[in-house]
Amino acid sequence: MDILNWVGRFHPALVHLPIGILIIAAVFHWISARRPGWKGTAVVSTLYFFGFLAAAVAAFAGWMLAKEGGYQSDTIFWHRWLGILMVILSFVLWRLNRNTSRITMSWLGVGLIFGLLLVGHLGGEMTHGENYMVENAPNFVKKLASYEEGTHYPVYNDPDSTLVYADIIMPILEKKCWTCHSNNITKGGLNMEDLEAFLKGGKNGKVIEGTATSSELFKRVTLDPESKKFMPPKGNALSYGEIKLLEWWLDSGAPTDKSIASLETPANIQSILLSRYQLDTKPKSYIEKTKVDAVTEETMEKIRQHGFSIRQIAMNNNFVDVGWRDVDSLSVNNEIGILEEIADKIAWLDLGSTNLDDASFKVIGTMKNLVRLKVEDNPVTDAAIKDLSDLKHLESLNLYKTKITDICAADLVNLKELKKLFIWQTEFGDEGSTQLKAALPKVEVIGGYTLNTPPSD
């Protein structure tokens, strides 16, 4: 029920109320047990009552919140039942306050304070993560809490300069294995700190051989943890992400000097690298990878005066997107020469419905970094396509409603990166498509006609 979920959301705010009231109650209780006749004694019972009431309401909201799920199961177990114990304890303190020995009762009150602190701490852990309270604490507190710095991963920005072994794999082994397999101690004859020794292996020979599944190193960390041979035999086992990274490294041939960028990264590894190290390894598109100098504002202004629209494609990318503004007195065929000045900086060009003629394609052909070209609805013929042969990065070409025919397929095959070709309402048909597909299987030919579904009769 939605309304109960909603009530649950109030839990983190509501809990402060009983904690405050009950702590005051317990402190008053403690003082009044030691100083008979103290004025504050009169309110102790009332404070416990309101503390109990507030605790019960907060616990109910907490129960509703827990039903939404998403919390770690053992922490929530302790938090929940300790919380309920606090409700009961405050009830007991309220009811029995008058009759039972004051000293015993005030000790119960002290127990209540500690219980409240512990419950609150467990709750905080669930919302903020385990190390929230020690992360920025002075060193002696960190020691007390046996907080390991190593649980926080470094941030890597660049897959080209991040090394798979030195930056990713070695720190994992260092943290989880070096206590027993290092220059100082070589349990099982295995030293993982010294690379040469590591590759040589342990007393039973190589621990890295072939792929992950054939390597002793990987077998030992993926055994049943109850097994005698499971590694590490004590201390923290490798996490799921660490095992996956190790597997990926071994399956890639266990390189010790390669960068992340030089390896294939399957989707699951991409997401582990991203969440653990904020390392983005998704393949970049051509215009993301390629850097060009910015077109100056002055040049942009000049180009605009020649009837074009021009803007950078993104804040952090200097490539430009150029179009035609359809200024009455100007013809695109007369003005297009101005674009030669910035030819290699144009990634997207849109000259659809501008009466563009074949001759203008001489200029378009010099735009070597062009990725998307729209020239639909123009009197363009097969001859124009010849001039596009140097556009090695062109991915999308719109020739809808032009005068092209199957003949231009012979030139289109030069556009090695072409992924989308729009040919609706042209004479480009069956024959051209077949020829193009044979040379560039990736191409999707989009038009009234599709290769795989011949018209039914």
The nearer residue to ligand HEC, 75 or 186, going by C-beta atoms, is: 186
Query: DSSP 3-state helix, strand, coil percentages of the chain (rounded to 5)?
Result: 50, 10, 40
Q: At what angle do helices 41-67 and 73-96 cross, to 10 degrees?
A: 150
Shortest distance, position 222 Cβ to ligand HEC, whole Å: 10
3-class secondary-structure state, position 301: helix
Q: Which residues pair with 321 in a beta bridge?
A: 311, 348
Spell out the residues 6+ positions from residue 393 whose beta carbon is closer than 8 angstroms to its own.
286, 368, 369, 370, 371, 417
Shortest distance, position 164 Cβ to ligand HEC, whole Å: 17
Q: Does 204 bind ligand HEC (CB under 6 A)?
A: yes
Shortest distance, position 124 Cβ to ligand HEC, whole Å: 31
* Candidate ranges 148-156, 201-209, 272-280, 413-421; the one touching ligand HEC (CB under 6 A): 201-209
217, 249 Cβ separation under 8 angstroms: no
Alpha-carbon gap, residue 323 to 374, rounded angstroms: 9
Q: Does 176 bind ligand HEC (CB under 6 A)?
A: yes
319, 404 Cβ separation under 8 angstroms: no
Q: Does 187 bind ligand HEC (CB under 6 A)?
A: yes
Q: Does 346 bind ligand HEC (CB under 6 A)?
A: no
Q: Does 234 bind ligand HEC (CB under 6 A)?
A: yes
Of 143, 229, 284, 442, which one interacts with ligand HEC (CB under 6 A)?
Answer: 229
Q: Determine phi and psi for 143, rounding to 5 degrees.
A: -60, -45
Shortest distance, position 171 Cβ to ligand HEC, whole Å: 12
Shortest distance, position 293 Cβ to ligand HEC, whole Å: 49
* Candidate ranges 92-100, 162-170, 186-194, 366-374; the one touching ligand HEC (CB under 6 A): 186-194
Alpha-carbon gap, residue 217 to 207, rounded angstroms: 5
Q: Does 232 bind ligand HEC (CB under 6 A)?
A: yes
Q: Which of 196, 178, 176 is nearest to 186 (CA)?
A: 178
Q: Does 80 bind ligand HEC (CB under 6 A)?
A: no
Shortest distance, position 215 Cβ to ligand HEC, whole Å: 8
Q: Does 212 bind ligand HEC (CB under 6 A)?
A: no
Dig out the tokens for 234 from the structure: 């004590």
Of 64, 180, 254, 371, which one interacts with ligand HEC (CB under 6 A)?
Answer: 180
Q: Does 245 bind ligand HEC (CB under 6 A)?
A: no
Shortest distance, position 159 Cβ to ligand HEC, whole Å: 25
Of 14, 105, 112, 238, which one interacts with ligand HEC (CB under 6 A)?
Answer: 238
Of 203, 291, 441, 452, which one interacts with ligand HEC (CB under 6 A)?
Answer: 203
Shortest distance, position 278 Cβ to ligand HEC, whole Å: 24
The nearer residue to ligand HEC, 189 or 266, going by C-beta atoms, is: 189
Distances (CA, A) of 322 to 159, 220, 314: 32, 58, 13
Q: At what angle do helices 16-34 and 102-128 cross, to 10 degrees?
A: 160
404, 381 Cβ separation under 8 angstroms: yes
Q: Does 440 bind ligand HEC (CB under 6 A)?
A: no
* Candidate ranges 77-85, 158-166, 199-207, 290-298; the one touching ligand HEC (CB under 6 A): 199-207
Q: Does 289 bind ligand HEC (CB under 6 A)?
A: no
Of 20, 210, 233, 266, which one interacts with ligand HEC (CB under 6 A)?
Answer: 233
Give the number of residues in contact with ligand HEC, rule: CB under 6 A. Answer: 25
Distances (CA, A) of 163 to 95, 117, 192, 247: 66, 44, 17, 16
Shortest distance, position 266 Cβ to ligand HEC, whole Å: 22
Dig out the tokens for 108 from the structure: 């119960």
* DSSP state string for 99-142: TS-HHHHHHHHHHHHHHHHHHHHHHHHHHH-TTTTTTTS-HHHH
Q: Which of 382, 165, 372 is nearest to 287 (CA)?
A: 372
Shortest distance, position 30 Cβ to ligand HEC, whole Å: 47
* Candidate ranges 72-80, 234-242, 266-274, 281-289; the one touching ligand HEC (CB under 6 A): 234-242
The nearer residue to ligand HEC, 169 or 320, going by C-beta atoms, is: 169
* Candidate ranges 22-30, 120-128, 202-210, 258-266; the one touching ligand HEC (CB under 6 A): 202-210
Q: Determine phi and psi for 336, rounding to 5 degrees.
A: -60, -25
Q: Does 393 bind ligand HEC (CB under 6 A)?
A: no
Report the residue count for the chain.
457
Alpha-carbon gap, residue 209 to 216, rounded angstroms: 8
Q: Does 170 bind ligand HEC (CB under 6 A)?
A: no
Alpha-carbon gap, residue 139 to 31, rounded angstroms: 35
Where does this chain bind ligand HEC (CB under 6 A)? 176-177, 179-181, 187-190, 201-204, 207, 216-217, 220-221, 229, 231-235, 238
